[in-house]
Amino acid sequence: MRRGARAFLLAIGLLQATASAQDFSKIQIEKIVSGLRFSEGPAWSREGFLVFADVPTNRLWKLVPGEKAEVFRENAEGASGDAYDAQGRLYTCESRSRRVTRTDKKGQIEVIADRWEGKKFNAPNDIVVRHDGNVYFTDPAFGSQADARELDFHGVYRIAPKGQLSLVAKASGRPNGIALSPNGRTLYVGNSDEHNIRAYDLDRSGEASNERVAISDIEGVPGGIRTDEKGNLYVAAKGLAIYTSSGKLLLNLELAETPSNCAFGDPDLQTLYITAKTSLYRIRLDVKGSVQY
């Protein structure tokens, strides 16, 4: 790939899709930020910008489309996963401080979860907020994070709108990316060790049940997950893998770098931003992303 913010077209071998799926026959990929060390956690704000993390440098970045990226927050405590709620507040998984925080629109940071039954989390990784204020996040431990563990399991958690913390699942492997279906009734959680995505039914209150494997045999390590308005899943793994809600692979898009996460953005929500090691990429699609605000 040529360096710099130059678009290029990839010829893509495409599986035959259903009539409800979009046309992926040609996708234009653009590198828009480079020089990062390990990018993660993209999240789109309705105020018209993208927030994403560069984990090793301990920074959150802000990108307004068409402008140069600027530092959003220094000393970001190892920010890894980010999400916005319906009120425009930013939720962040802080892997170094081992907590989940919420930042209001004035920039005030509040710790909303840092322990389970008196023990510190492992290293909160990724997060999603439902339209009604229910928050779901994953808590694995990768590499040296395992050395300081107080909990003897990797967990998936829920924070109810009034702040009550509950355990959704003790994962058999390390949970990673997390996302919601367009209607907010299904929770998806990627498992890095099992190379699969598990699904949970969510009731009106936000409680989870009926754990099951929704997608199996993912090539590469599944990281971040997003859904579009049709219910398709976009999984950052060896490439960017796109599946139907029933688990059928539509496309595996190869990038020059291994992707870590993704998020829909721009005012029309038809741009998918992809964090991939040292760079941030984007692709335009003919389908809108699914958001909960």
CB-based contact 206:130 (threshold 8 Å): yes
Quote the CA–CA distance of 55 and 37 in Å, as a whole number: 7
Quote the CA–CA distance of 187 and 257 in Å, as a whole number: 28
Confidence at residue 22, expressed as pLDDT on a 0 to 100 scale: 63
Structure tokens at 53: 């993390």
CB-based contact 168:175 (threshold 8 Å): no
Confidence at residue 263, expressed as pLDDT on a 0 to 100 scale: 98
**Helix, strand or coil, per DSSP, at residue 144:** helix
Quote the CA–CA distance of 253 and 13 in Å, as a whole number: 9
**Helix, strand or coil, per DSSP, at residue 214:** strand
Quote the CA–CA distance of 186 and 245 in Å, as a whole number: 10
Quote the CA–CA distance of 208 and 132 in Å, as a whole number: 15
Element housing 29 (H / E): strand 26-33
Quote the CA–CA distance of 156 and 187 in Å, as a whole number: 11
Cα 76 to its chain centre, rounded Å, is 17
The CATH code of domain 8-284 reads 2.120.10.30
What is the reported pTM?
A: 0.91
Confidence at residue 142, expressed as pLDDT on a 0 to 100 scale: 86
Quote the CA–CA distance of 123 and 144 in Å, as a whole number: 10
Domain spans of the chain?
Answer: 8-284
Half-sphere exposure of 21 (CA within 13 A, CB side): 21
CB-based contact 171:213 (threshold 8 Å): no
3 state SS for 221-267? CCCCEEEECCCCEEEECCCEEEECCCCCEEEEECCCCCCCEEEEECC
pLDDT tens by residue, the chain, 293 residues: 344 433 333 333 333 333 344 667 678 999 999 999 999 999 999 999 999 999 999 999 999 999 999 999 999 999 999 999 999 999 999 999 999 999 999 999 999 999 999 999 999 999 999 999 999 999 999 887 778 899 999 999 999 999 999 999 998 899 999 999 999 999 999 999 999 999 999 999 999 999 999 999 999 999 999 999 999 999 999 999 999 999 999 999 999 999 999 999 999 999 999 999 999 999 999 999 998 87
With the C-alpha atoms ordered 117, 122, 123, 125, is the resulting torsion angle positive or negative?
negative
Confidence at residue 2, expressed as pLDDT on a 0 to 100 scale: 40
Quote the CA–CA distance of 77 and 95 in Å, as a whole number: 7
Structure tokens at 50: 């993208």
Structure tokens at 73: 């927050």
**Among 98, 149, 90, 155, residue whose Cα is nearest residue 123:** 98
Confidence at residue 8, expressed as pLDDT on a 0 to 100 scale: 33
